[in-house]
Amino acid sequence: MSALSFELKGRPEQRLDLSSLVPSRLDGLNRKQIEALSVATTRETLTVGDAFKVKGRDVQNLHFVGTDDRCDKIGAKLAGGEIVVDGDVGMLLGAQMKRGKIAVDGSAGVSVGASMSGGEISVRRDVGDQAGGVAFGDTFGMKGGFISIGGDAGSLLGERLRRGLIVVGGKAGDYAGGRMVAGTLLLRGGAGRYAGYGNRRGSLIFADKPRHLMPTYVDSGVMEFDYLRLLETWLREQGMRIRLGGRARRLMGDMAVLGKGEMLILE
Amino acid sequence: MPELKVKGVTIVETFAEAFPMVGTRVIITAPTAEWAMISARTMTGFATSVIACGAEGGIERTLSKSETPDGRPGVAVLLFTMDANMLQTQLRNRVGQCVLTSPGSACYAGLKGEKSLKLGSSLRFFGDGWQMSKVIGGRRYWRIPVMGGEFVCEEKTGMTTKAVGGGNLLVVGKSHKAVLAACTRAVKAMADVPDVITPFPGGIVRSGSKVGSKYAGQIASTNHAYAPGLKWHADSELPPSAEAVLEIVIDGLTADAVHEAMHEGLHAIAKGGAREGITHITAGNYGGNLGPHHFHLKEIVG
């Protein structure tokens, strides 16, 4: 069965709420019913059929083609299945998702994977602020799963992160790991100011020594971490070319809060 | 009925009687293969028989760097007991005392069982509050600070209730030397079979036992029917030529694995033929009263 694909007909007049286009909501609907679903975010009515050319049948494999930064909430609350996006996406990509996979071959807006609790999101290029952060009305940020960002990330990456792993290939903005509760950020291209601000138990892993270090982190020196080897092996199994090695400098913090978080700076 | 022979060695038409066990597998890694083996050997030391060891354990095989979760050399260890509570106790004590303490080691789940056993989830308390939990790919690991750095231990490992203990082969020969050589060969051949261990010293038992004793409180005693010094006795099962009998005991995660190991072992014993001094291959059973798994040697041969 071929993937159910949604090809954007042209740049929409309004932002689109695509949260209804997930397998659990589409299962059992025929083409006409799918095309009649509302995606409007203003008073002006707009349906899937108005905005997209719909093809294919397999609701477990969704394919978005030619989308842009007005296409919001793709894969929000996803509970299984796969979504492939050929284009850019707007805000709240995979927000509050539980299971499944989303792969974006472009850039994403703010709040990628906000408060997600499981599954995988990969964005080939840049993401906006608050990736893995807190979804509107939620208490914690990402609570599980894996986000991989090929390019740069905005500010407040992994804000109030509670569990899960975020890997950033490029540079992260200010306040990366702000108020982290636990979980892991792997920052391959460094971060802006105030990384690890208010970190309670989380781990920030830096490929290189960060340019700005919070004064509330305390140096514990260099040692061997089997955990890094474990992480490297798993990331390689996911197809990521990465070398973490086993040695790292460990700084404990944020001492202004619980102080059981860490920065691991790879040697 | 024609007598069953392989290369002149008589295969006695009997069966090995085995019993259900619960089993688990853990993977131990270390900076070098040698240190992984030291840790695994320590963990499985004094784990020959549930009669008085608490568990039967052994090294299943060594693992290359590409086969372990952290990309370091490793060893797969199997541990068996009669019930889940005992397995949990033995696993916690053995990993806590022998793997946690071993330089550079880490310990991971090696089995996806129908049920799970606590591994790092109880050992983490050694961290005294400084332990950290990490979830990677849906599996939870504990990082416990220790003097050598960090001990990484997966939270749980799987357990199977379909394990089988006590698969066995009894090897009867004209000299101790011949029997020991044949058994050593068999243990080596069985080592290549997945999902099994031979828990006794070097895989071989020289003191096969029967259930009970004439002495009160002694739960097992020498299998006098196979002791060559007691051939005069009416109970003796040995031919006059027998000078020594050694036993190989096999525990496996499944009955099929035990069957395969016995097949490999039997043919390795018989490889040298009768001219190397092996006269009979038989097996230990208790008339079907011990357990539901009966491995008939005529089927094992095939």
Chain B CB contacts of A204 under 8 Å are none
Residues in B touching A185 (Cβ below 8 Å):
none
Length of chain A, please?
Answer: 267
pLDDT tens digits along B183-221: 999 999 999 999 999 999 999 999 999 888 999 999 999
Cβ contact, residue pair A226, B152, below 8 Å: yes
CATH of the domain at A185: 2.160.20.60
Same domain for A84 and A66: no
Shortest CA distance to A227 belongs to which of B283, B29, B81, B122?
B29
Task: Give yes or no: residues A86 and A174 share one domain.
Answer: yes
| pLDDT tier at A229, thresholds 50, 70, 90 | very high
Instruction: Give dist(CA B210, CA B218) in Å, integer.
Output: 11
d(CA B241, CA B172): 9
Please report where in the chains the tokens 């050593």 appear, as a residue.
B184
Q: Do B142 and B152 meet the contact criterion of CB atoms below 8 Å apart?
A: yes
Backbone angles phi and psi of A65, in degrees to 5: -125, 135
Nearest to A165 among B104, B136, B150 (CB): B136
Cβ contact A201–B132 (<8 Å):
yes
Q: pTM for the complete prediction?
A: 0.92
| Residues A211 and A82 reside in one and the same domain | yes
The secondary structure of residue B65, as a DSSP letter, is G
**Total residue length of chain B:** 302
Residue A165 reports pLDDT greater than 90:
yes
Chain B residue closest in CA terms to A248: B149
Q: What is the pLDDT of residue B130?
A: 95
Residue B148 to residue A261: CA distance in whole angstroms: 20
**A149, A58: one domain:** no
Tell me which DSSP letter residue B21 carries: E
Please state, in angstroms and as integers, the Cα–Cα distance from residue B200 to each residue in A21, A170, B46, following that order: 60, 55, 9
Contacts of A201 in chain B (CB under 8 A): 132
Q: Answer whether residue B1 shows pLDDT above 70.
A: no
Do A223 and A169 sit in the same domain of this protein? yes
- Residue-wise pLDDT tens digits, A37-78: 999 999 999 999 999 999 999 999 999 999 999 999 999 999
Q: 3-class DSSP state for residue B34?
A: helix
Tokens 């695509």 belong to A18
* Same domain (yes/no): A81, A59: no
Does residue A184 sit at the B interface (CB-CB below 8 Å)?
A: yes
- Measure CB to CB from residue B134 to each of A184, A232, A260 and give the nearest one: A184
Banded pLDDT at B288 (limits 50, 70, 90): confident
A107 and A53 inside one domain:
no
Rounded distance between C-alpha atoms, residue A133 and residue A115, angstroms: 6
Angle at B15 between CA B13 and CA B19, to 5 degrees: 180
Listed in order, strand segments (DSSP E) in B64-138 are 74-81, 106-109, 115-118, 132-136
Bridge partners (DSSP) of residue B107 are B28, B153
Terminal C-alpha separation, chain A: 48
Q: How confident is the model at residue A104 (pLDDT cuts 50, 70, 90)?
A: very high
Does A198 share its domain with A228? Answer: yes
Q: Are residues A6 and A87 in the same domain?
A: no
What letter does residue A43 receive in the DSSP assignment? S
Q: Characterize B203-228 residue by residue with b for buried, 16 or more Cβ atoms within 10 angstroms of its Cβ, and e for exposed.
A: bbbeebbeeeeeeeeeeeeebebbbb
- Residue B289 binned pLDDT confidence (cut-offs 50, 70, 90): confident
Distances (CA, A) of B302 to A69, B86, B264, B297: 68, 36, 10, 9
- The residue among B99, B124, B135 with the most chain A CBs within 10 A of its CB, best to mutate, is B135
Determine the pLDDT at residue B2: 62
Would you state the pLDDT for residue A1? 82
Put simply, whether A98 touches B (Cβ < 8 Å) is no
Burial class from Cβ neighbours inside 10 Å (0-12, 13-18, 19+) for residue B288 reads exposed
Last residue of a domain, one of A72, A88, A118: A72
Q: What ipTM was reported for this prediction?
A: 0.91
**pLDDT tens readout for residues A109-144:** 999 999 999 999 999 999 999 999 999 999 999 999
Residues spanned by the domain of A181 = 75-266
Strand-pairing partners, residue B22, are: B81
The pLDDT of residue B95: 98
Phi, psi of B208, deg, nearest 5: -55, 145
Of A43, A72, A101, the residue that ends a domain is A72
Nearest to A76 by CA among A112, A109, A28, A52: A112
Same domain? For A82 and A49 the reply is no
Segment B22-62, tens digit of pLDDT: 999 999 999 999 999 999 999 999 999 999 999 999 999 99
CB contact under 8 A, B70 and A230: yes
Q: Tell me the percentage of chain B whose pLDDT exceeds 90.
A: 92
pLDDT of residue B114: 79
Query: CB–CB of A229 and B71 under 8 A?
Result: yes
Among residues B254, B226, A64, the alpha carbon closest in space to that of A51 is found at A64
Q: Using pLDDT thresholds of 50, 70 and 90, give the confidence band for residue A203.
A: very high
Nearby residues of B224 by Cβ (< 8 Å), 6 or more positions away:
B210, B230, B233, B235, B236
In angstroms, the separation between the Cα of residue A264 and the nearest Cα of chain B is 14
Q: Tell me which of A72, A88, A109 is where a domain ends.
A: A72
Number of other residues whose CB lies within 10 A of the CB of residue A45: 9
Name the residue among A182, A203, A233 with its Cβ closest to that of B70: A233
With a cut of 90, say whether residue B171 has pLDDT above it: yes
Of the pLDDT bands very low, low, confident and very high (cuts 50, 70, 90), residue B83 is very high
Query: Looking at the structure, do residues A86 and A64 belong to the same domain, yes or no?
Result: no
At residue B231 the predicted structure's pLDDT band, cuts being 50, 70 and 90, is: very high
Interface of B with A (CB under 8 A): 29, 68-72, 104, 106, 130, 132-137, 141, 143, 149-150, 152
Of A201, A224, A262, the CB nearest to B149: A224
What is the domain count for chain A? 2
Find all residues with CB under 8 Å of B199, minimum gap 6, and list them.
Answer: B44, B47, B48, B49, B56, B57, B58, B80, B249, B251
Percent of chain A with pLDDT over 90: 99
Residues A68 and A199 in one domain: no
